[in-house]
């Protein structure tokens, strides 16, 4: 069983739960932008709201919000620290 298969009982708004479900579909070693996540959940233009949903994510590795990066480049910030986010992305082969 992988973290992506782990059953979770996450509590959040319907929007947050949609974002978190989309994040669980991002494969290790891959990154997507906040805008791409917004488009995947049918809410194009909601990139900032996606970023807020990522920041509200209560389970960092089971819901891999570290795989979401800014469209402008770089890795961006992360609730658990930008250095830790970068280290996870390097470990997964995304950087």
User: Per-residue pLDDT for 4 more than 70?
Assistant: no
Q: Answer whether CATH 1.10.10.10 is correct for domain 10-92.
A: yes
Of 32, 38, 22, 77, whose CA–CA distance to 55 is shortest?
77
Q: Where are the domains of the chain?
A: 10-92
User: Per-residue pLDDT for 18 more than 80?
Assistant: yes
Block residue for tokens 């974002």: 19
Which position among 46, 51, 65, 88 bears the catalytic label? 65
C-alpha angle 76/30/75, rounded to 5°?
10
Does the active-site annotation cover 54? no
Cβ–Cβ contacts within 10 Å for residue 82, how many?
13
pTM for the model: 0.90
Give the C-alpha separation, 71 to 93, whole Å.
Answer: 19
Q: What is the pLDDT of residue 44?
A: 97
């Amino acid at each position: 069983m992988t973290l992506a298969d782990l059953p979770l009982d996450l509590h959040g708004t319907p929007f947050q739960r949609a974002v978190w479900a989309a994040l669980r579909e991002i494969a290790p070693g891959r990154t997507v932008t906040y805008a791409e996540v917004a488009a995947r959940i049918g809410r194009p233009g909601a990139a900032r709201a996606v970023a807020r949903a990522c920041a509200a994510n209560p389970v960092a590795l089971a819901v891999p919000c570290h795989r979401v990066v800014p469209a402008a480049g770089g890795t961006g910030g992360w609730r658990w620290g930008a250095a830790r986010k970068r280290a996870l992305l390097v470990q997964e082969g995304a950087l």
